[in-house]
Amino acid sequence: MQSNSSHPAFKITEIHKFDPRKGCKRCVPPGVGVEVSGETRGARPVADFWKNREGRLVGRFSCQGERFWFEATLASGAPILQDQMIAFEEYIAELLLGWLAEGIHEVDSISDWVRD
């Protein structure tokens, strides 16, 4: 997945639902949310971030009852390091705005609004 030039390139892969209470630890930052005024008032998509037992960054996009689970890496497949988390958080905020633009209830999978 390509991001704008101020961010490293990240890759988001949709994964099966998981229970973060079982073996996952919250990341720092623990997640990000976006809010836009106007027509989409009330919709506040968020993403939560954890490290799983293998140390991989996993997460969940959620808004208005819709949920999608993902794993995130650098485009190279390398893990996202702590010093890259702020850029990752900014990148995810951009993706959340894209989800909002596509229509929260109009997408069936992450690939409907996250494009390589």
Cβ count near 103 (within 10 Å): 12
Name 34's bridge partners.
none
- Summarised one tens digit per residue, pLDDT across range 39-98 is 656 788 999 999 999 999 999 999 999 999 999 999 999 999 999 999 999 999 999 998
Answer whether 65's CB lies under 8 Å from 73's CB.
no
CA 79/CA 90 separation, integer angstroms: 17
- Tell me the one-letter amino acid at 86: I
Residue closest to 1 by CA, chosen among 71, 64, 52: 71
Q: For the whole model, what pTM was predicted?
A: 0.85
- Summarised one tens digit per residue, pLDDT across range 25-39 is 999 999 999 987 766
